Amino acid sequence: MTVVRAALLGFGTVGQGIYSIAQQRREQLKQRLGGVELVIVKILVRDLRKRSRVLPDRCASDAKLLTDDIEDVFRADVQVIFEATVGEEPAFTYLQRAIVEHGCSVITANKVMFARYGAALQELAASCTPTSSFPATRVYVGFEATVAAGVPIIKTLQNMCHVQQVRKIEGIVNGTSNYILTELREHPEKTFEEVLKKAQELGYAEADPTNDVAGQDAFVKLLVMVAIAFGHQPSRSTIPVTGIDTLTPEMLQDARAKGLRYRHVVSAAMEGAATSSCAPKSSAAEEEEAQSRTRPLHERLTCSVKPMLLGPEHPLYHMDGTTSAVSVWTDYLGVVTISGPGAGMYCTASAMMEDYAVWMEAFRRP
């Protein structure tokens, strides 16, 4: 029987979700993955005294898994790390070391870190040759959970990009902002502050909501998607970021009167994206496109994060509440839209566990 030794970095909501799912789905995963068993052997926390308390009662014996020293994790000879901490560091340093020094796969939900260092981590992993004792033939970097949690947009984009050429992406990727916009539309009598307060009470918004309502959270998710869809990450300073906190009651009233809806949309579009469709291209269009391709990509790609006024024909028009949704326009397909829950303990954690399963399904040693 093959055992895959795993560590969790971070044991907040998402880390605890992974821990639970690993218990709950032990048999299901083993059965689907040729008998390979996932065992969590270390959990890195910041404060050992605080975290011991959160392990479920029945797993009190697992308290010995907890550590506040990353060296303990590496000494435990782990083969995959689930990283669910916040911020660029020390996450990047830890994952970089995991890959380079230990040939370890990494699966992350940390969008801020990944938007900055995703390409670097993927390059490091690609240049790793796994040792023969490693359970898979490839060192893997999984990051489905960095964008829209339970909405499987990352793998869908990766698969599409083998064959399709992406023309445009538009997405609602911040549940808090979408919840607030939905409430403001449905309850015109409420103020932004009242709705924000309700979002906080319901646990949708953080105590400090700036990151969500000013668009920074959506911005880093856009960066992650653009890197896959266009194989290129534009300079951050070229992307205007506007949050929903710029919308006035008059603007919302005006939208209502016109039957339009404000959505907070991250967008990346290639020149001429509006004309693409599922239909085969005319040779004139093909030629024009070929010509435009000689110009560097960053000149042809326009990205933005902002409230957009959408009509009923837009695939994101109907996406209400805390839903996340991403639409992708490609040359062969026209538009494909994926929507679902963009946040939540089990949504995010199960997306990370799916990364593990997809890796093990494809690359486990025979």
Q: Which residues are annotated as a binding site?
A: 10-15, 111, 206
Q: Which residues are annotated as a binding site for L-homoserine?
A: 206
Q: Tell me the CA distances in angstroms from 120 to 91, 96, 99, one per residue in order.
A: 13, 9, 11
Give the separation between CA 63 and CA 47, rounded to whole angstroms. Answer: 13
Question: Smallest gap, in angstroms, from Cβ of residue 27 to a copy of itself?
Answer: 12
Active-site choice (30, 197, 198, 221) = 221
Q: Which is nearer to a copy of itself, 267 or 350 (CB)?
A: 350
Q: Which is nearer to a copy of itself, 93 or 137 (CB)?
A: 137
**Can you give the binding site for a copy of itself, defined by CB under 8 A?**
20-21, 25, 28-29, 32-33, 137, 150-152, 155-156, 159-165, 278-280, 315, 318, 331-341, 344-347, 349-350, 353-354, 357-358, 361-363, 366
Question: Smallest gap, in angstroms, from Cβ of residue 157 to a copy of itself?
Answer: 10
Give the separation between CA 170 and CA 265, rounded to whole angstroms. Answer: 6
64 is catalytic: no
Q: Which is nearer to a copy of itself, 48 or 362 (CB)?
A: 362
Question: Smallest gap, in angstroms, from Cβ of residue 221 to a copy of itself?
Answer: 17
Q: Which is nearer to a copy of itself, 93 or 129 (CB)?
A: 129
Question: Smallest gap, in angstroms, from Cβ of residue 144 to a copy of itself?
Answer: 9
Question: Smallest gap, in angstroms, from Cβ of residue 14 to a copy of itself?
Answer: 12
Q: Which is nearer to a copy of itself, 175 or 243 (CB)?
A: 175
Return the active site residues.
Answer: 221
